[in-house]
A = this chain, B = another copy of it.
Amino acid sequence: MNTPDNAKPKKTAPPVSPLAPARFPDLPVIDGVRFATAEAGVRYKNRTDVMLAEICEGASVAGVFTRSSTRSAPVLDCQAKLAALQDGAAGGFAIIVNSGNSNAFTGKAGVHTVEMVTGETARTLGVPVGHVFSASTGVIGEPFPPERITNALAGLVAGLSPDGVAAAARAIMTTDTFPKGAVADVVLGGVTVKIAGFAKGSGMIAPDMATMLSYVFTDAAVSRDVLQAMLVDQTTRTFNAVTVDSDTSTSDSLMLVATGRAGNPAVADASSADGRAFAAALEEVLKDLALQLVRDGEGATKLVEVRVTGAASDRDAEKVARAIADSPLVKTAVAGEDPNWGRVVMAVGKSGADADRDRLSIRFGDILVATDGWVSPSYTEAEGAAYMKQQELVIAVDLGLGTGAATVWTCDLTHGYIEINADYRS
């Protein structure tokens, strides 16, 4: 199917993703949270690799984590602690995160490391150990001496500052080519509350929590139950709706903290006016962060929104959207700026969802490419090829069967991905 005479130059991975936002946003101070970072030398040299967040007493804390059956020791520890949290318990909270070593598949030693790191953090800050959450991102399966972190704790605590959020976003990066932040504000009961979050991740980004790590803070007063329910609900449409390579991390963690210091009337009902307003602002932040993960997908040069409508069910729509977004043949066609809609048809066919070839239609942006089981009479290859040159693309499929719909975001599959994952030994 290929002829060498129309070869195009190879794409290689630039130092910063071409899809990166122009700048890191100005993240506001969130009253009740202080940050610090350190160069602990977990794996990297001459860069920060540990971040500590100290959170005030009385905050609401929520979390969503990878469903991998081989999830890391820190993830298991966070899940156990969140499940045991009591509303109104005395004592502040802390989150301690390192990059460079994921402490995943490290057996009992890994569990010991989590106990040491969270225990020492609790002791140094004077907060209950059940209120200290940790995360580790980096290489899987390597020994992780807890001293690397615990030796840095005194310095971290001394450096805590309300302004440290941008530095925290950098300290948790691994193969990321840019730090990822997002911000929103919203008025609740006459009081303006702020939401600010950051995230890291660019490879091993997949259906089940693409995070890998994300921390979002707000000064709003929101009950823990409402916060947790909103986070679970919105993760489906944000972090769980992005895919870079279909591979799922063992460490994916998303935590959301509400300090309550803004002084708004506490949101205790998600369906109230304030609850809905807060949810809308939160989803804006989560979606912004999730899309930044795709924008920093390893080797990515194109951002692709895959919109599926007309499916027999939402679940079927999601199957089709993921089959398209994860297809190596679709993703390489996008990389090659090739309007190869036949590969989209192939992906629909393999998805396992109900589909009728003769009711299917496909659009690239606003261009009707295929309809009624064949190429559209109005479609020209030149039009498709011109569209594919854009940096941000929409591939829309209507199955013509029902009202099920889903949207998934992905990136292209380029030489840059192979370079990052095959050409170097990790």
Contact = CB atoms under 8 A, between A and B. Distances in A.
B354 A107 contact: no
Contacts of A105: 342, 345, 357, 370, 373-375
A208 B336 CA distance: 26
A328 B417 contact: yes
A403 interface: no
A46 interface: no
A141 B423 contact: no
Interface centre among A109, A247, A349 (most CB of B within 10 A): A349
Contacts of A356: 69
A70 B336 contact: no
A346 B425 contact: no
Interface string A392-426: 00000000000000000000111101111111111
Contacts of A70: 345-346, 348-349, 355, 357, 360
A362 to B, nearest CB: 9
Given A141-B345, A341-B141, A374-B106, A203 B329 contact: yes
Interface residues of A, number: 86
Interface stretch (A3-11, A25-33, A145-153, A284-292): A3-11
A113 interface: no
A33 to B, nearest CB: 29
A321 interface: no
Given A247-B329, A328-B421, A417-B328, A104 B342 contact: yes
A415 B417 CA distance: 9
A141 B329 CA distance: 15
B421 A349 contact: no
Given A138-B1, A328-B417, A349-B71, A338 B422 contact: yes
Interface string A187-228: 000000000000000011010100000000000000000000
Interface centre among A102, A353, A356, A426 (most CB of B within 10 A): A426
Given A175-B1, A328-B328, A335-B418, A350 B248 contact: yes
Interface centre among A246, A329, A412, A417 (most CB of B within 10 A): A329
A412 B141 CA distance: 22
User: Lowest 7 A-B CB distances belong to which pairs?
Assistant: A140-B342, A70-B349, A107-B374, A68-B349, A332-B421, A248-B350, A336-B422
Interface of A: 1-4, 6-8, 10-11, 66, 68-71, 102, 104-110, 138-142, 174-175, 203-204, 206, 208, 245-250, 326-329, 332-333, 335-336, 338, 340-343, 345-351, 353-358, 360, 370, 372-375, 385, 412-415, 417-426
15 contacts: A1-B138, A1-B175, A2-B426, A10-B415, A66-B349, A105-B373, A109-B374, A140-B343, A203-B329, A206-B350, A246-B326, A247-B329, A332-B422, A335-B422, A338-B425
